[in-house]
Amino acid sequence: MVDKTKHYTALVGVELSGSRLDQALPALFPEFSRTRLQGWIREGRVSRDGEEVRRPREKLFGGEAIVLDAQLDDQVENQPQAIPLRILFQDEAILVVDKPAGLVVHPAAGNRDGTLQNALLHHDPELAKLPRAGIVHRLDKDTSGLLVVARTPAAHKSLVAQLQARTVKREYLAVVSGIPTAGGRVNQP
């Protein structure tokens, strides 16, 4: 595995004024996960107006120049793979896929291929032009369910904004078998 560093720059807009650095970076660099960005902050790979920042909770004021020295490895490059997909809806802007349990959403350590992202790139090669092949949210490997995938930059931007504003409604259903041995209680929110 060969590591390489790629430099990214962004200007913090007024809409991110007052945000924490680790909350703003995913909006500025949506191709990377918040967890990965937090790690790079702690490693000293992020600077604000030329000054290294190592605290993810650092507040932003707007107007700052952010430089990210992203450490990428060659094996994470996403390749299309012919993995069957169950697509429930597709138009020019989005598609909705039914993710089965056992399928990882995007490549990461320990799961370099065989992911939903690899399958999406095979289904629609144009998704390679979007961050994370248009994936804007995820489900855990062992969780099944529907995922909305952006197919255009405008749809990607809109879906990311809706998720950040928490205007998207999500519903979860748990199927449980067995009887708890020690008892307990589940309180609904």
Of the residues 49, 73, 98, 140, only one is catalytic, namely 140
Q: Are strands 3-11 and 65-73 parallel, antiparallel or unpaired?
A: antiparallel
> Closest by alpha carbon to 150, among 158, 139, 161?
158
Whether residue 159 contacts residue 151, with contact meaning beta carbons closer than 8 Å, is answered with no
User: Residue 52's beta-bridge partner residues?
Assistant: 47
Q: How far apart are CA 141 and CA 143, in angstroms?
A: 6
- Side-chain-side CA neighbours of residue 135 (13 Å): 25
- 3 carries an active-site annotation: no
Q: How far apart are CA 103 and CA 82, in angstroms?
A: 14
- Residues marked active site are found at 140
